[in-house]
Structure 1
Amino acid sequence: MLKKFFKNKWVKRLLYLFLILIVAFAGFYGSIYFGFWGKVPTKKELSELKQSQATQVLDKDGKLIGKYYIFDRQSVSYQDFPKHLIDALVATEDVRFYEHDGVDNQSLLRVFFKTILMSDESSGGGSTITLQLAKNLFGRKNYGSLGIVVNKIRESIVAKRMEEIYSKKEILRLYFNTVPFSDNTYGIESASVKFFNKHTRELSLPEAATLVGSLKANHSYNPRLFPERSQLRRDVVLQQMVKYNFISEAKASKAMQQKIALDYQYYAPNQGVAPYFRALIQKKLQHLIDEKDLKKPDGSAYNIYRDGLKVHTTLDLMMQKYAEEAMRSHMEKLQQQFEKAYGKNAPWLTNKKIIESNKKKLKRYQQLKSQGLSDQQIEDSLTQKREMEFFEWDENSVVQASTLDSLQHYLKFLNSGMVSLEPATGAVRTYIGGIDYRYFKYDHVSQSKRQVGSTFKPFVYTAAIENGMAPCTYFPVKAVTYTDVDNWTPKNADGLNDPDLNYSLEKALSNSVNTIAVKVLNEVGIEKVIQLAHDMGIKSEIEEVPSIALGTANLGLLELAKAYTSFVNESKPSTPFFITKIEDKNGNLIAEFEPENKEEKPVYSDYTRQVMLEFMKATINEGTATRLRNTYGLRNDIAGKTGTTQDNKDGWFVGITPQLVTVTWVGNDDQRIGFSSTGIGQGANSALPIFGGFMQKLNTDDEFNKITNAHFEKPDSKVISDLDCERTKEDGFFKKLFGGNKDEKEFKKEKKKKGGIFSFLKGKKDKE
């Protein structure tokens, strides 16, 4: 009977067909196995797996600030995985993980019969964790109509080889370190930090279930974009854990009652904490790799986007957050004041020269111009409206606007810069290059140079004291016309011009008296002032004109901060530094960096330093910066200097504490747009509040007690004695009667002795 069955011609044909199919499949499988469809990784290659990892930028305490990456990935060890994370993955993705050899034949049969033949989608998929790992590591290629079959077979070959090489724990480690999560994030550590601001080992059960749940479809179940959908998927994961006895129903129920609470961290280049600092470190890191020829063990150069470097910086993450909060809080209010004061007469709306010149800088304008379009055609194109997102301090708005509308919108914004240095080392503790890196890429700390106003005056007074001028030297406050320098008449912003009133140097500096600053410059000599400024760390060129006493020099925030560190660092300027060390992905040291000022010598005497510190303490206690005491209630030991420039274009403040030197600047990116009045634009109103808010925040955090509770050293007895005089003095009757115009006469004599070195820089003066 059986013989008769097999002799049936249709049975024979079916058997032949089946045999042909087996041979064909074996040949097809062999063609994939032996690489005819593309090389399949060998066991040796699989044992040396290398995955690109994100370079981490860390703060001074090793806290993550940001990353540079093509794929946002950080690797962690198996020991960092909490048990409930592993259980969630196994229960959801591959419940027979510990029983198969990479390919789960039992699951495949179930999928074939239940899913394909019976259309029962509840049966699950046949893909294992190891198969998914193979796909994650090597991706899939397009093979046309046979693509899915070829890729599946390749993955099964790779999966079996991996199971022979690696233990189950090692496979889980590789999987968790390579699997793609939401928001272009690769690996569980990166996902944990990004979504919950914690390391993998710290993930709670609901958090672990949320991340594992997102693996099914990392966009559809993105907890940031779709929190409700993500929560439903999380609950499915928890139910699977109950189903396979990984957790109890009670534990799952408790977890499901918790809403997803994200603590989302932005590590994209344009977002997150310290974006300007991270952009600068990226450039410095690449420069160091090239300059020092840093190589990997195999001799190839390090790639900052792939090799998982760890860059330890000087920044203090918490201090940076406080600085950014203080900046945002103040700048939002100041912007409102700024716009309200101008009203409908704002220069970004009415000044055609400003609008036209900025229009011609636009990339879009230049593109249209290069295409040979006429001015009218360009104008027509730039006035076409479309949907745009506009930056606003309270909340961004989506509006219908043209390119020119956008130009005028962004022209109105005040910008800001801030840097804080540890004076003993030059370590950069805070760094704010602008108000929002997404919309204002220009870095006002490392790229910008602006007139510094009265923050230059301490250099003049330091040179005077260093060259023998007594701290209690008096100068009249009255304005003087210097006929030998184009009839220049520097004046005081508050109109102070009493012909009988004289101020001591301390009173003159703390109250930022312009007329006296020029007289002191004339007395000490302009060359000596410039030389000392350079010795203190100013690298920019300083023009030999008397108006530098009022701050007409264009300087950068970093060099200004460097110069001021000398007042609390034994008269030695500290060079700002940013990176302390670089490690490879395994924590091996590649390069280490020390402060650059260890061998520096004092650039002026300690006597001068102590006198100047007392002068600048008076600025805070009774001078132009008293609002730090009165408005902000700061009782810390603080010295400092305010600064405001011509036509209120720039506001400055330098705050000095024993262990921190901070410089803040505020102004418009277009230097033709200033504040409408000194009341709003003066440094005490525009820049000082950022420092004030910053210090308030530091004072509330015990972590910074070492900084906030630090005290200046007590001045030497000679300094105290030499400063023991009245701050103001009235001229007596006979001096009034016979004194004449002494200041101008003395200026002419001094000028003659110096060989006519002064030349007037017309129109430039300080407002403070």
Structure 2
Amino acid sequence: MAKKTKKEHKQSGFIKYIIGFWLLFLTGLLAVVMFFLLASWDVFGEMPSFEQLENPETNLATEVFSSDGKTLGKYYNENRTPIKFEDLSENLVQALIATEDERYYNHSGIDARGTARALLYMGSKGGASTLSQQLAKQLFHGEGAKDILGRVTQKVKEWIIAVRLERSYTKEEILAMYFNIYDFNNNAVGVRSASRIYFGGKEPHELKVEEAAVLAGMFKNSSLYNPRRNPEGVTNRRNVVLKQMAKVGYISEEEKDSLQKLPLKINYQPESHQSGLATYFRMFLREFLKDWAKENPKEDGSTYNIYRDGLKVYTSIDAKMQAYAEEAVQEHMKNLQTEFDRQNQKNKTKPFRGISQESIDNIINRAIKNSSRYKHMLKNGASEKEIMASFNEKTEMSVFTWNNPRQEKDTIMTPLDSIYYYKSFLNTGMMSMEPQTGEVKAWVGGINFRHFKYEHVKQARRQVGSTFKPFVYATAIDQLQLSPCYELPNTLHTIPAGSHGVTDSWTPKNSSGKYGGMVNLKQALANSLNTITARLIDKIGPEPVIDLLDKLGVDTSNIDPVAAIALGSVDLSVFEMVSAYSTFANKGVYVKPVIVTRIEDKNGTILYQHVPETRDVMSEEAAYVTINLMEGVTRGGSGTRLRTSGWTPEYYKKVVTGHPYKLTNPIAGKTGTTQNQSDGWFMGVVPNLTTGVWVGGEDRSVHFSSITYGQGATMALPIWGSYMKKIYNDPELDVSKGDFEKPENLSIEVDCDNYKNSEEDQDDDTGPDIGELEL
């Protein structure tokens, strides 16, 4: 056999080299392909299924909307509210693409040019992750790999998921998901929360170029580029984003230069359970939703989670009216508290009045044992002695104050002193409702939710005083067809022992101390004459009044059928009072209050739709006559202050903010003041809005020393007046200034001039007289 020449040997070696190269290349290629295949087959860890890609699991906040479409608040583990691509501003989209993935619309999940550049320069000139890859990383596996093999495996997974995402979604949908998934810090998860929190409640589509650039810049590292902690760094990062936008051609060089010179403008408005509009309402609503979720499970039997299922809750609250209500409360209560504190300076038992030291000690000890400090220490095994000692140790704390825009101050005091401090504040409850629909339009449960958790609209029940009297009058009118002009003697009236639950004979006195002459029912209610109310309850009895209350939606289980209820000895909530008074304005038809009109799931499917609950309670005539009676309160009684241009003495002007009100429209109302001025009430009704206000201390022994300040007309009425004045000054709100609708064929005379003339022209048997009523 002939030997190979040297040339042939070289050729043979070269062929072997070529074959080896291609074998190595193909083996490597096959290995890469197999690596990708094995990764896609879950060999290196579970990969998301198609169903998971369609429905990536994220914690979605439940969002609460007002009736006029404003966001009142959210319930969340993560404050994320997803939005669609159409809800994003063009500025946001361009800022993100220019900064993170400028060839976004030209690749299918993996940027070949970017990958090659990253490999060639070992990442020194930027990474190669596309937006789709970054989304895959955040959605399905996150951080974690430390070794080289782990990082390579993770990167391969990102590529696979990114390609799958690109096949499953449009480019616009992927962008929306990316914006929705990112955590911008400060409880701002997703771009909608970030936009609202960092830019004063703005929606994403409202963001300017420079604002969009701030958020786009945060995608690099939201902890580092945090607008609250690092404004200088955020400004620099914003300017980098603007430079990129100019480079790509989204903005001109001139625009870039101009925008980069602008100062960083952050309007930080945190979204939390303890801040924002209608905080007390949202607390009550949360419990409503939890109960609803228990009673209305999902199709698979599981329970809706209001913190992560992304429900949309549409409420009856009107955002503007709620804001006006809160403003009215804040303005008046701050001034009222200033006067209350001034009067307490010489009070040796402040903030308590008229009770023994033993009673004060009992109140304080009860507060100690109800405190979170006591319960926490007890749970951790501390002795009673150790716990009580801790209440006398000074500690740093933040407490409520009216003398600070934040309504909070840092101080050092003992926990015991803080209990006395908080007991000294007057608080309030206020609710506004549309009588015809039952829709609750405003709900203010206290002066500051962060520091005063106890809610005073639905949770608290306080003695109602003279605001109870319209129920007695309404019962008598409905039963006896009495006219507001019907006259009775203003003299002491005694209900004997054994009658109407009276154990000892009962002779109520007028708070004014004035008696004598004949007064009609309108005058009697306007001046809150106890003598007339006593005569009426003696005639009709307490049982029919309690029966009326029951029909008006009041919990009557703890109301005893005794004559004393006529003067308001019962404890009711603002919620019950407003819904009951609304029946008078709604022609005798009770409508159950509604706070939620609709609930939807995250996909917009309606899960709950409110159905009104109504019932006839009294005749239309009786309801109208009762309203007519209460109109007298604001025309010639304790509610007259709503009409006047001023009121003396001077102290009243100091307490009332925004006075004079000079309201000229028809208003039905009633003030209420309880014993020792512990509770001040005002109930005000116009044809399409009923509003109730209560003011008082947490404990009944915390009150003003005299009726001058302690009456409902001074404590509660100013809030109502200020609230209504704000509403009437807003042309967008359709709150009536007109007359209450008079029933057709009204048989009860409400014009006292006509009533007097008709009595003179008719025989005595045409209507009930004193003898017939046995008064």
**Structure 2-normalised TM-score?**
0.84
Q: Closer, same or farther in 2 for the Cα pair 1:551/1:338, shift >3 Å?
A: same
**Matched residue, 1:163:** 166
**Matched residue, 2:620:** 606
Question: 1:391 deviation in Å?
Answer: 1.5
| CA displacement, residues 534-591 of structure 1 (integer Å, 9 cap, x when unaligned) | 2333223322222211111111222211111111111112210112122222323233
| CA displacement, residues 609-658 of structure 1 (integer Å, 9 cap, x when unaligned) | 22221211111111111111223222232111111111111111111000
The correspondence for 1:284, drawn from 283, 288, 303, is: 288
The correspondence for 1:182, drawn from 177, 182, 185, is: 185
Question: 1:300 deviation in Å?
Answer: 5.0
Aligned residue type for 1:207: E
Give the secondary structure class of the aligned counterpart of 2:138: helix
Question: 1:433 deviation in Å?
Answer: 1.6
Q: Closer, same or farther in 2 for the Cα pair 1:519/1:424, shift >3 Å?
A: same
Aligned residue type for 2:691: T
Q: Distance in 1 between matches of 2:164 and 2:275?
A: 41
User: Is contact 1:71–1:186 with CA below 8 Å preserved after alignment?
Assistant: yes
The correspondence for 2:630, drawn from 591, 613, 616, is: 616
Question: 1:259 deviation in Å?
Answer: 4.2
**Matched residue, 1:343:** 345
**Matched residue, 2:738:** 710
Question: 1:356 deviation in Å?
Answer: 2.4
Of 386-395 and 361-370, deviating more is 361-370
Q: Distance in 1 between matches of 2:700 and 2:82?
A: 47
Q: Closer, same or farther in 2 for the Cα pair 1:286/1:373, shift >3 Å?
A: closer
Q: Distance in 1 between matches of 2:317 and 2:627?
A: 26
Q: Distance in 1 between matches of 2:35 and 2:351?
A: 70
**Matched residue, 1:12:** none
Q: Distance in 2 between matches of 1:170 and 1:470?
A: 68
Question: 1:323 deviation in Å?
Answer: 0.8
User: Is contact 2:491–2:531 with CA below 8 Å preserved after alignment?
Assistant: yes
**Matched residue, 2:307:** 305
Q: Closer, same or farther in 2 for the Cα pair 1:416/1:88, shift >3 Å?
A: same
**Matched residue, 2:682:** 653
The correspondence for 1:136, drawn from 135, 138, 144, is: 138
The correspondence for 2:580, drawn from 539, 563, 574, is: 563
Of 527-536 and 639-648, deviating more is 527-536
Unaligned stretches of 5+ residues in structure 2: 1-5, 15-22, 498-502, 645-659, 757-769
Aligned residue type for 1:562: S
**Matched residue, 2:487:** 474
| CA displacement, residues 389-414 of structure 1 (integer Å, 9 cap, x when unaligned) | 11112321111223223222222222
The correspondence for 1:221, drawn from 222, 225, 233, is: 225
Question: 1:71 deviation in Å?
Answer: 2.3
| CA displacement, residues 653-698 of structure 1 (integer Å, 9 cap, x when unaligned) | 1110000001111112223323332222211111111111111111
The correspondence for 2:451, drawn from 439, 444, 467, is: 439
Aligned residue type for 1:625: G
Give the secondary structure class of the aligned counterpart of 2:735: helix
Q: Distance in 2 between matches of 1:721 and 1:673?
A: 41
Of 309-318 and 230-239, deviating more is 230-239
Mapped pair 1:62 → 2:75: no
Question: 1:20 deviation in Å?
Answer: 12
Question: 1:194 deviation in Å?
Answer: 3.5
Mapped pair 1:490 → 2:502: no
Aligned residue type for 2:93: I
Question: 1:366 deviation in Å?
Answer: 3.7
Aligned residue type for 1:686: M
Q: Closer, same or farther in 2 for the Cα pair 1:719/1:260, shift >3 Å?
A: farther
Give the secondary structure class of the aligned counterpart of 1:102: coil
- Taking the TM superposition and a 5 Å limit, the aligned residue runs for 1:343-742 are 343-345=345-347, 346-348=349-351, 351-369=360-378, 373=382, 375-395=384-404, 396-468=408-480, 469-479=482-492, 484=497, 485-486=503-504, 488-494=506-512, 496-498=513-515, 500-541=516-557, 542-597=559-614, 600-601=615-616, 603-630=617-644, 631-704=660-733, 706-714=734-742, 719-720=748-749, 723-724=752-753
The correspondence for 1:80, drawn from 69, 72, 87, is: 87
Of 31-40 and 526-535, deviating more is 31-40
Of 560-569 and 194-203, deviating more is 194-203
The correspondence for 1:255, drawn from 232, 256, 259, is: 259
Question: 1:324 deviation in Å?
Answer: 0.9
Question: 1:342 deviation in Å?
Answer: 1.3
Give the secondary structure class of the aligned counterpart of 1:286: helix
RMSD between aligned residues: 3.5
**Matched residue, 2:18:** none
Give the secondary structure class of the aligned counterpart of 1:170: helix
**Matched residue, 1:38:** 45
**Matched residue, 2:17:** none
Give the total of aligned pairs.
713
User: Is contact 1:365–1:378 with CA below 8 Å preserved after alignment?
Assistant: yes
- Taking the TM superposition and a 5 Å limit, the aligned residue runs for 1:7-26 are none
Give the secondary structure class of the aligned counterpart of 2:431: strand
| CA displacement, residues 73-92 of structure 1 (integer Å, 9 cap, x when unaligned) | 22332233333221100111
Question: 1:594 deviation in Å?
Answer: 2.0
Give the secondary structure class of the aligned counterpart of 2:693: strand
Of 472-481 and 505-514, deviating more is 472-481
Identity %: 40
Q: Distance in 2 between matches of 1:326 and 1:139?
A: 51
Unaligned stretches of 5+ residues in structure 1: 8-15, 728-742, 751-768
User: Is contact 1:348–1:355 with CA below 8 Å preserved after alignment?
Assistant: no
